[in-house]
Structures are given as structure tokens and as C-alpha cells.
Amino acid sequence: MSIRWSLVIPVKTLVAAKTRLAAATGPHRTRLAVAVACDTVAAALSCPLVARVVVVTADPAAAGPLAALGADVVPDPDRGLNTALRTGAAHAVRLAPGDAVGALQADLPALRPAELGRALEAAAEFDQSFVPDALDVGTTFYGVLPGRPFTPRFGGESRAKHLAVGAKELCVPGIDSVRRDVDTPDDLRAAIRLGLGKHTAAIVADLWPVTPPPA
């Protein structure tokens, strides 16, 4: 029987979200941030290996839509990203101590449930593991098996940080959508090429009905 996963997804306060997209999105930046998070959560919840999604956020503008999708929303203690993830993980373990726990970035608008499933199947083979981002610098997913310490090290060059503590890097073919986080206009163009989820696609169509987002 396959291991089931609780996924913790951290969502920033929207005023601080996607600042590197500000020039391209203007006053619609917060709308885009909510849409991207919604597509990430919706795709995760559609993955058969995912038992639940725990969203950690301090922003009611994000909490409402994400709860409506079926996420379990808990408050962000506002002491940094990794503290937020540990808070969500502790909540997940209280709900289901027998499930594996993973942290997933909230900015994966092209995420495909089947590709996430491939990553989670691979992660089930190791005590702790991670998926590097598309640039091989950051991390989009970090996970541990049931009963193992949950010690995420997101932020900056987190791929190197996770390698340094012995987490297994998951070099799985066919998981491009799991690795494609979006921070810049170039990232968004790459996600568009992969195929956006419906929430992000609607915002992008409003903003750029003819051409991709400007650099």
C-alpha cells in the first residue's frame, strides 16, 4: 500500500508576495499570488497520494479561497518560512501521525497531480528527501517519512542546505511542473509553456490577452 502524505503549503501575506512580478503585474500582483496558490493547492489535493493539505498563512484574503478548495488552514506564527512549515507539519502529525509529511512551495501554478505523485512515490523510498527547483538552486518540495524529524531548510540556496543535512535529492524524470516555481516574469513564461492551472490562467488571460508577460 502506498504511503499517504500530508502536504504543508506556506502562503505569504499577500502584500509581500511575488514582489519580483510587481513591474509585470502592477495592481494585479496580489490577485495573481492568490491564483497561483489556489492552483498549487488544487493540484495537490487532486493527487491520490495526498491525504490532506495544510496551508499556513496569516492572510485572510488567501485563507478564505484556499479553505474553500479543501485545505486545512492554520495561522502563521510569523517567525519565518521554516518555522511556518514546522507549525503546519506539527498540525498535520496531530491529525495523522501515520502519514508522511511534506513541504510544498505555494508558487507552482503549472503543477500536475500525476507529476506530484511521481515525486511523492520517489520520496517514499527515503527518510528525508527533496525536489530541487528548475534552476537547481532552490527547493520546491521537502518530505520525511512518518516518525522522522521534519527539518526543512528553505530559503536562499536551499538545495545545497538540504544536501548538506543528508536529504536525498530526487532526480525524477517527468516532474517539470513540480520544479517550476514562479518568482519572475521569466518563470511565469516557463510555467505558461507547461500549462497553467485554471485560476492562474484566468488572471494571465486578463493581464496579457495577446502576448506573454513583459520582462
CATH code at 182? 3.90.550.10
Q: Per-residue pLDDT tens for 49-66?
A: 999 999 999 999 899 999
- Quote the CA–CA distance of 110 and 25 in Å, as a whole number: 18
Which DSSP state fits 150? -
Q: Please indicate if the annotation marks 147 as binding a ligand.
A: no
The whole-number pLDDT of residue 21 equals 62
Provide the residue range defining the domain that includes 59: 5-207
* One-letter amino acid for residue 52 of the chain: R
The whole-number pLDDT of residue 1 equals 58
Q: pTM here?
A: 0.93
Domains: count for the chain: 1
CB 215 within 8 A of CB 186: yes
Residues of the chain with pLDDT below 70 are 1, 14-28, 210-212, 214-215
Question: Does some domain include residue 215?
Answer: no
Grid-cell match 510544498, residue found: 104
Q: Please indicate if the annotation marks 155 as binding a ligand.
A: yes
- Quote the CA–CA distance of 137 and 131 in Å, as a whole number: 10
Question: Does some domain include residue 213?
Answer: no
> For residue 173, what are the contacts with CB-CB under 8 A and spacing of at least 6?
none
The whole-number pLDDT of residue 76 equals 95
The whole-number pLDDT of residue 24 equals 59
- What is Dmax (Cα atoms) for the chain? 50
Q: Please indicate if the annotation marks 197 as binding a ligand.
A: no
Q: Per-residue pLDDT tens for 98-124?
A: 999 999 999 999 999 999 999 999 999
The whole-number pLDDT of residue 17 equals 52
| CB neighbourhood size of 149 (10 A) | 9
- Quote the CA–CA distance of 26 and 93 in Å, as a whole number: 39
Question: Does some domain include residue 171?
Answer: yes
The whole-number pLDDT of residue 211 equals 66
The whole-number pLDDT of residue 12 equals 84
| CB neighbourhood size of 71 (10 A) | 26
